[in-house]
Amino acid sequence: MATHVTTPGVTTEQPQVLRTRMKPGRWARELGWRHVVGVIAVVYAVFPIVFIISASLSERGTMTGSNQLFRTISFHNFEALGGTRFWTWFGNTLFVSVTTAVGTVLMGAAASYAFSRFRFKGRRTSLTALLVIQMFPQMLAFVAVFLLLMTLGQVFPVVGLNSKIALICVYLGGALGVNTFLMYGFFNTIPIELDEAAKIDGATHAQIYWTIVLRLVAPILAVVGLLSFITSFGEFILARIVLQSQGNWTLAVGLFGWVSDQLNANWGQFAAGAVIAAMPVLVLFLFLQKYIVGGLTAGSVKG
């Protein structure tokens, strides 16, 4: 006869996990509406993308609402880009955007490091002034920018009208402000004890900045660089004012020129060019996505 041995404090029966299902009404009130909003947001965001891809693959070269999506599939519009200045504009845009992004990161990081680590007279006033000035967009000063570059071009043509370097300088003129505040909050999360320990070991401010601090704030550098790249990549007003010859145009200016004339608008090539133009931004976004959330949120922990 088998005996059942029990040990004090140990139960032989397995506990049963009670799973309660949420009632449909409660699920709809607490979770269901979120799914509905999410689906609507996805459809709202995806439809223009699908439509522009369909238009780029259409031989008719129109974007009228009566067209059926992907009724015809042809790469004629993409092949036709080779006979235009599209790739020249593409190279100009990459040059301007990459240079602006790098310059914005370097300038913003240097300013943020100074505001975060050093204490000097007028520090708070300077931060406030940067924020107030940033409230006024650059395009409000396009008349002053035009007159300034026209005057400078008479002495230094490299920074005058119709110069990509001049356009980069204009973009960098508004690089501080919000970017400095984003970086400033992130720099404050880096313990100052690291700087002090490095100074004890004989490191200079430059060595601390380049070898220690910048490596720790890589997420916010990636975020600021990405935002600056996207902004300058699609900017139109200042680029149209500064760049006057077609050989120096950026994609925003060049693609607009294809559809500015309603009678001779080439929507097919415009759509194909827009699809290709979106690739650098998409690739850069996917490459830096692991830094985006941390870079945007970590700076709010400590101000």
- In tens, the pLDDT along 201-231 reads 888 888 888 988 888 888 889 889 998 999 9
**Model confidence band, residue 71 (pLDDT cutoffs 50, 70, 90):** confident
pLDDT, mean of residues 169-189: 84
**Model confidence band, residue 29 (pLDDT cutoffs 50, 70, 90):** confident
pLDDT, mean of residues 107-125: 87
Return the pLDDT at 15: 47
Check: CB of residue 195 under 8 Å from CB of residue 208: yes
Integer Cα distance of 232 and 250 in angstroms = 10
List pLDDT tens digits, range 249-277.
999 999 998 888 766 778 889 999 999 99
Q: 123 or 90: which carries more pLDDT confidence?
A: 90
What domains can be seen in the chain, in order of their start residue? 26-74 (no CATH), 85-300 (1.10.3720.10)
Is pLDDT of 68 > 80?
no
**Model confidence band, residue 1 (pLDDT cutoffs 50, 70, 90):** very low
Residue appearing with tokens 């000097």: 120
SS3 of the chain: helix, strand, coil, percent, to 5: 70, 0, 30
**Model confidence band, residue 67 (pLDDT cutoffs 50, 70, 90):** low
Is pLDDT of 66 > 60?
no
Written in H, E and C, the secondary structure of 146-195 is HHHHHHHHHHCHHHCCCCHHHHHHHHHHCCCCHHHHHHHHHHCCCCHHHH
pLDDT, mean of residues 40-61: 87
**Model confidence band, residue 297 (pLDDT cutoffs 50, 70, 90):** low
**Predicted TM-score (pTM) of this structure:** 0.81
Q: Which amino acid is at 299?
A: G
User: Could you give the percent of the chain with pLDDT greater than 90?
Assistant: 34
Return the pLDDT at 20: 58
